[in-house]
Chain A
Amino acid sequence: MAAEEPQVHLAIGSQFENIELVQIVVEESLRKLDLAEDVAHSISLAVQEAVANAIKHGNQQSPEKRVEIDFGVEDGEVVIEVTDQGAGFDPRQVRDPRMPDNLLRPNGRGIFFMSSFMDDIQFDFKPEGGTVVTLRKRLPSAPMASGPREED
């Protein structure tokens, strides 16, 4: 990833308690981008969801398997890659948690959270095993010097 600052690489063991460490590092990196608080919170939450999925569904909480997180800024977007060492899955099989039959299910909302909070989400499955989730969020353009900003 050819990124501008900030750029962070983090590798953690597959334990849920490590998600807090990821949260701290990601939120500190986001602070440097001077984003609105709610935007930064949404990105942080999307990353936590991706890491939680990587630990739980990807690495099956196997202590010897790692989750890697790459955080950077590329072409005006925050780009976060979360890589696990799991067997992968078929994204087409993921149910829409808003459908009436799924509304009262206790799980199955992680990918929906990521999609809702980010502008783009992509899954890549490596031939040697492992899933890479790439999360992208456009940075707001610099505010204009004067006059109201046109909404599109």
Chain B
Amino acid sequence: MKIDVRNTDGVTILEPKGKITIGVGDIALRDTVIEALEGGAKSILINLAEVTTIDSSGIGELVSAYTTVANRGGKLKLLHLPPKVQDILQITQLVTVFDVFDDEAEAVQSFS
């Protein structure tokens, strides 16, 4: 799995592409979030548009990233959930935890 990182108006946007599953993308996602935090990021937006599969381990990493960022005084939000990821966040009731956006500009604005 590949994760692109870019910055827009002070928001660090992570764009994982491919699978976030056990042994594949889960550790990569964790490392990228930690790296962003260590680089001083406080506002992190994960764009999931190009995630093809996420398993319980990948969902666990999203939750872990959320709490890690929050514990360091930052905020982590999600952008462009593919239907399969949306379904999983629904059944796990994690939709009640994450702020989710369909529009990047609106998501970036929400951090300010």
Q: Could you list which residues of chain A lie within 8 angstroms of chain B, going by C-beta atoms?
A: 15-17, 19-20, 38, 41, 45, 48-49, 52, 56, 97-98, 103-107, 109-110, 112-113, 116
Q: Cβ of A15: which chain B residues have Cβ within 8 Å of it?
A: 23
What does DSSP make chain B's interface, helix, strand, loop or mixed?
helix
Beyond known contacts A103-B63, A106-B63, A107-B60: 17 more, CB 8 A cutoff: A16-B24, A17-B23, A19-B21, A38-B83, A41-B53, A48-B21, A52-B22, A98-B93, A103-B93, A103-B94, A105-B63, A106-B60, A110-B56, A112-B56, A112-B92, A113-B56, A113-B88
Task: Give the secondary structure class of A's interface.
Answer: helix
Q: How many CB-defined contacts (below 8 Å) exist between A and B?
A: 59
Are B67 and A56 in touch, CB under 8 angstroms?
no
For residue B96, which residues in chain A have a CB less than 8 angstroms away from its CB? 103
**Other-chain residue from B24, B84, B92, B97 in contact with A109 (beta carbon distance below 8 A):** B92
* Contact of A48 with B55 at beta-carbon distance under 8 Å, contacts A103-B93, A103-B94, A106-B63 already known: yes
Ordered by A's residue number, 26 sampled pairs between the chains whose C-beta atoms are within 8 Å are A15-B23, A16-B22, A16-B24, A17-B23, A19-B22, A38-B83, A45-B53, A49-B56, A52-B55, A56-B22, A103-B63, A103-B93, A103-B96, A104-B63, A104-B66, A104-B67, A104-B97, A105-B60, A105-B63, A106-B61, A106-B63, A106-B64, A106-B67, A107-B57, A109-B60, A112-B92
Least CB distance from B68 to A in Å reads: 10
Residues of chain B at the chain A interface (Cβ within 8 Å) = 21-24, 53, 55-57, 59-61, 63-64, 66-67, 83-84, 88, 91-94, 96-97
In the complex, the chain B residue whose C-beta lies closest to that of A16 is B23
**A103 contact set on B, CB distance < 8 A:** 63, 93-94, 96-97
Q: Is the CB of B55 within 8 A of A113?
A: yes
CB neighbours (8 Å) of B97 from chain A are 103-104
Report the minimum CB–CB distance from B100 to chain A (whole Å). 15
| Alpha-carbon gap, A104 to B83, bound state (A) | 22
Complex Cα–Cα for A49 and B58 (A):
11
A96 to chain B minimum Cβ distance, whole angstroms, is: 10
Smallest CB gap from B30: residue in A: A106
Q: Return the chain B residue nearest A52 by Cβ.
A: B22
Are B59 and A109 in contact (CB-based, < 8 A)?
Answer: yes
